Structure 1
């Protein structure tokens, strides 16, 4: 899949980085779907799905005709989970002390 890495590095990544975002190749499924994760500003952009279907998928399919499509992977990292738990615990402690 050298052509996949090449199209990501040479065509897709520079465009996303121009918008303070990036792309991570998670993997390729056995049935021909590329799994990606958008990072930086692209991960929270309201237009991310449009970017995936109209730009990323088109570029990848042009370079790698054997690819059937692109699937975004939305992962929550441990740091974000820890932050959410602290907030929830703080709110819970506050509610207990008020009653």
Structure 2
């Protein structure tokens, strides 16, 4: 059982993402948090990150790793491509 509600995760996730954002913007990218549902954080990689061949590594070993360290090891990060957002939760 995950110890936090989706609503309780909102602020810690936003804070953790702020730690990662400078690295993304240095490479011409960014990240948007689309929502949280059942300990899954739905994001959209923006700018140069959305079409980058390393985006899956950035997602797994950068963003997800930071969230797991900062908040909880069972968090999962899922990238939602443009045009698919309507199927996922929003803040």
Which interval holds the TM-score relative to the shorter structure? 0.7 to 0.9
Counterpart selection for 1:21 from 29, 33, 46: 29
Aligned positions of 1:83-98 closer than 5 A: none
Counterpart selection for 1:8 from 4, 14, 17: 17
TM-score by length of 1: 0.70
1:34–1:67 CA contact under 8 A, matched in 2 = no
Counterpart selection for 1:39 from 39, 46, 52: 46
Residue ranges of structure 2 left out of the alignment (5+ in a row): 1-9, 85-91
Q: Compare the two structures and name the one with the higher helix fraction.
A: 1
Q: CA RMSD in A?
A: 1.6
Q: CA deviation at 1:40?
A: 0.2
Q: Deviations over 1:7-60 (max 9, x none)?
A: 111x1111100000000000001x110000000000000000011001100001
SS in 1 for 2:53: coil
